Amino acid sequence: MAKILIVDDDSEITSLFERFLSLEGYETTSLNESAQALDVANSIVPDLFILDLMMPPPDGFKLCRLLRADPKFELTPIIIITALGDSDSKAVAYGAGATDYLIKPFHINELAARVKSLL
């Protein structure tokens, strides 16, 4: 069973993603504080990350860079989920190492399809 780490400061979002992805057969862990993400990632070694961009420090851009700097996660897929739909934010996210980028709002089945394709 693939493990997914969800990092978003909105607890309703993380709960929704956890419930949905668990029903899809994934083992999920979620955090509402990005500062804990590296420690948790190192303890569970997820197969995929889902990150929000707009969070208290470190924000999603910085967290993505930190994950990519760790040899354990340099190839682990990272899906960015955010309300930021501008091309500059997308470019920065991909430059930080994001694998995919979803703009809120979206249909939850789109997330499932993207997770499945990356795993």
DSSP-derived 3-state class of residue 59: coil
pLDDT at 60: 95
Domain count, the chain: 1
Written as one string, the DSSP assignment of 12-47 is HHHHHHHHHHHHTT-EEEEES-GGGHHHHHHHH--S
CA dist., res. 101 & res. 52, Å (int): 10
- Buried b / exposed e along 41-66 (16+ C-beta atoms within 10 A): beeeebbbbbbbbebeebebbebbeb
Residue-averaged pLDDT of the chain:
96
Q: Please state the pTM of the whole predicted model.
A: 0.96
**Domain harbouring 54, CATH code:** 3.40.50.2300
- Give the pLDDT mean for 31-60: 96
Give the percent of the chain with pLDDT over 90. Answer: 100
Average pLDDT over residues 86-115: 96
Tokens at residue 3, please?
């493990």
Range of the domain at 27: 3-118
